[in-house]
Structure 1
Amino acid sequence: MSPVELFKSLADETRLKSVLLIKQKKELCVCELMTALNLSQPKVSRHLAQLKRAGLLSDRRHGQWVFYRISPELPGWCRNILWETSVTNRNYLEVELQRLSQMGDRPDRSKKFC
């Protein structure tokens, strides 16, 4: 991944917040991001697909849920940028993290089917 590809992928606020939320929570599904970002399923899914195509995210299926996480193939310099952004801008996701913490019926990652 080149610096231009990384910064173009993160230039949209929805994609940036999605990546930072996923980084902080380790993995999230579409419904969790919909709640946190207060956006529709098609919009969240479209942005996640772009991030996956760019190589920032990978996914795994668990029952009916698809969980997204930071790609393990992401270069170290990209991971460092995400870490530094998260650490130095803790208030940036305050509202989204509050919405996520208040979400009922979050998918259970330990059960085979939800």
Structure 2
Amino acid sequence: MNTLSSHVLDTTLGKPAKGIALTLTLPDGSTLSGETDNDGRFKNWGLVDDSGFPAGIYNLRFHCKSYLIETHGSSFYPHIDITFELTENGGHYHVPLLISPFGFSSYRGS
């Protein structure tokens, strides 16, 4: 079974990024959405059953423009897309995002 979580950190402030909207596009083209909590985290995708995410290619969009403008006064990125692949029975996947008004990075977390 595959599970998925994310965490957004503002590297300029050294703090979690609260209130960033997320859109996850599944391999079949359907989408799920959510928003980071006070600690910049999100994991409750609201799947209909407990079977987790199937193997396939996913796209996770972080809608960061409004957060960056509100927090820093400017944003070069209206959104950031991270495309990744889940394998069959890959376990837990964690996709963190480190952001600033003019840069970002990501990696496979744990």
Q: TM-score range by the shorter chain?
A: under 0.3
Q: Could you state the TM-score of these two structures normalised by the residue count of structure 1?
A: 0.24
Q: Could you state the TM-score of these two structures normalised by the residue count of structure 2?
A: 0.25
In terms of fraction of residues, the more strand-rich structure is 2
